Amino acid sequence: MTATSPTFSSKDEIHMAHARLKDLTQKQPFPTVEERQQALQRLHDSLLKNEIALLDALQADFGHRAPEESRLLELIPLLGEIKHAKRHVSKWMRASRRRVHISTLPASAKVMYQPKGVVGVISPWNYPVLLCLGPLVGALAAGNRVMLKVSEFCPETNSVLRTIVDQALGEDWIEFVEGEAEIANAFSQLPFDHLLFTGSTSVGHIIMRNAATNLTPVTLELGGKSPLLVAPSADLNDTAKKLVFGKTLNAGQTCVAPDYVLCHHDQKQALIDHMKQELAAYYPDGIQSPDYTSMINDRQLDRLKRYLDEARTAGVECDNLMPQGPIENDGKLAFHVLHQPNDELGVMQDEIFGPLLPILTYSELDDALSYIQQRPRPLAMYLFTQQNEDQARCEQQITSGSLVINHTLIQVAQADLPFGGIGTSGMGAYHAEEGFRTFSHSKSVLRKRGPNILSLFRPPYRRGIHKLIAKYWPFL
């Protein structure tokens, strides 16, 4: 179990790795609950053993990302998810009893939850630990072998992750795959028993097309534009605190970060003033504060700057809310508010994934709800209100992956809540019991005992029993 995972550089090697895991699955198709719990415990212990190395690697890959922030965003929720799965997996594995039709009696029926087999996981760069090992937790709890494809943008983190999974799982459970776009494309074409992808919607289309070749079931965790709706009754000081929290962690490079704000036009200036105060408290030296995270690379930074340039060219007012330092430095970009950008601009078409925040205003709450309804379904929606009626309307009228009332981002760290989008923001869910079900096959099992009542209904059909059926069948 301590053998080192190889580095893959060709499609043939990836196919061989998949075949090896497939062979292991055929030899041991149903790991016991003890084996699953032990694998999860070893993963937990290996994470703690390598914590400092992992935090240092994340700092190196991002350029600037405080170790405390990495621990908060990646390790704490991940360890909580492992503990939750280990505690509940025996209950999740229990078969559920089902009723049988009267014509089948005496008999018994159940649904058992069988490992799907070999699961593929393609993880992104923005949370290279949580979004790599989080799906692994559900897949292991369900008894699967796993191939992990990690992002090429986080080489230092990948090196530590490889050590972690080698120590915890080795060749018995996992294959660890690195490589760029060509390897990722080949990976998604493997005949997995299930494939989970976390990333952009555009790449999600490619992944789904590739998986369709083998009729591989997929879970897609995408993203999109998650709105934050400020109702007229909202506490604006509290709203600003939690908005800044959700938008600045990881410098906004979060799939469920608030992407744009809808507030009443009378609230706008007060909300911005509270945000300025909160940002100054978080980052007293502006972007030069050591706790402010960098963009992962120049490509992402340049993309955000293009959004700003396009908006300014279109006449949109763009305010820097962090005047204590430079606007840009060492891969960091100051937090900007964009006032009323039109829907045709890139900042309103694409997922922002950075510290830019469009603010739109409304006159009536119905108009704001209608605006959200008319757009692609978001991965998350955030509502700030003091009125239960507002919550009920959002629960019933807005379809989103999750709905959070009076906070941001905290839904991701809830070990007993499913996580997933709908429509362009994703397909399927993982975490919690729903994650176990995602990576399990629900197999029906029917056992017949005693006399065969159905023999009474065999041909020839002109016997008396069929006359009774014709008369009474709606009541059967």
* Per-residue pLDDT at 474: 72
Identity at 175, one-letter amino acid code: E
3-state secondary structure of 23: helix
* Per-residue pLDDT at 475: 60
3-state secondary structure of 269: helix
- The Cα 92–Cα 40 span in angstroms is 15
Identity at 321, one-letter amino acid code: L
Q: Residue 127 to residues 30, 72, 133, 434, 437: CA-CA distances in angstroms?
A: 31, 12, 10, 21, 24
- Asked if 355 and 308 touch (Cβ cutoff 8 Å), the reply is no
Local confidence pLDDT in tens for the 476 residues of the chain:
444 555 565 788 999 999 999 999 999 999 999 999 999 999 999 999 999 999 999 999 999 999 999 999 999 999 999 999 999 999 999 999 999 988 788 999 999 999 999 999 999 999 999 999 999 999 999 999 999 999 999 999 999 999 999 999 998 999 999 999 899 999 999 999 999 999 999 999 999 999 999 999 999 999 899 999 999 999 999 999 999 999 999 999 999 999 999 999 999 999 999 999 999 999 999 999 999 999 999 999 999 999 999 999 999 999 999 998 899 999 999 999 999 999 999 999 999 999 999 999 999 999 999 999 999 999 999 999 999 999 999 999 999 999 999 999 999 999 999 999 999 999 999 999 999 999 999 999 999 998 887 777 777 776 667 776 777 667 65
* Per-residue pLDDT at 299: 95
3-state secondary structure of 270: helix
Would you call 132 a catalytic residue per the annotation? no
* Per-residue pLDDT at 450: 87
* Per-residue pLDDT at 455: 74
* Per-residue pLDDT at 102: 83
Would you call 255 a catalytic residue per the annotation? yes
Paired sense of beta strands 174-177 and 440-448, if any = unpaired
Exactly one of 255, 278, 351, 433 is catalytic; name it: 255
CA dihedral 245, 321, 373, 361 (to 10 degrees): 130
* Per-residue pLDDT at 437: 97
Identity at 320, one-letter amino acid code: N
Burial class (CB in 10 A: 0-12, 13-18, 19+), 158: buried
Question: And the tokens for 188?
Answer: 């998604």
Q: Which domains does the chain have, with CATH numbers?
A: 11-222+427-442 (3.40.605.10), 227-420 (3.40.309.10)
Place of tokens 């007060």: 270
- The Cα 57–Cα 161 span in angstroms is 10
Q: Residue 377 to residues 30, 48, 261, 403: CA-CA distances in angstroms?
A: 37, 37, 16, 12
Beta-bridge mates of residue 174: 146
- The Cα 35–Cα 206 span in angstroms is 35
- Nearest by Cα to 350 from 381, 401, 307: 307
Exactly one of 171, 175, 178, 221 is catalytic; name it: 221
3-state secondary structure of 157: helix
Q: Please, which residues have CB within 8 angstroms of residue 331's CB and are 6 or more apart in sequence? A: 63, 64, 294, 295, 297, 298, 301
Q: What is the 3-state secondary structure (H, E, C) of the chain?
A: CCCCCCCCCCHHHHHHHHHHHHHHHHHCCCCCHHHHHHHHHHHHHHHHHCHHHHHHHHHHHHCCCCHHHHHHHHHHHHHHHHHHHHHHHHHHHCCEEECCCHHHCCEEEEEEEEECCEEEEECCCCCCCHHHHHHHHHHHHCCCEEEEECCCCCHHHHHHHHHHHHHHCHHHHEEEECCCHHHHHHHHCCCCCEEEEECCHHHHHHHHHHHHCCCCCEEEECCCCCEEEECCCCCHHHHHHHHHHHHHHHHHCCCCCCCEEEEECCCHHHHHHHHHHHHHHHCCCHHHCCCCCCCCCHHHHHHHHHHHHHHHHCCCCEEECCCCCCCEECCEECCEEEECCCCCCHHHHCCCCCCEEEEEEECCHHHHHHHHHCCCCCCEEEEECCCHHHHHHHHHHCCCCEEEECCCCHHHHCCCCCECCCHHHEECCECHHHHHHHCEEEEEEEEECCCCHHHHHCCCCCCHHHHHHHHHHHHC
Q: Please, which residues have CB within 8 angstroms of residue 49's CB and are 6 or more apart in sequence? A: 167
* Per-residue pLDDT at 325: 84
- The Cα 81–Cα 100 span in angstroms is 36
pTM of the shown model? 0.92
- Nearest by Cα to 168 from 29, 349, 38, 279: 38
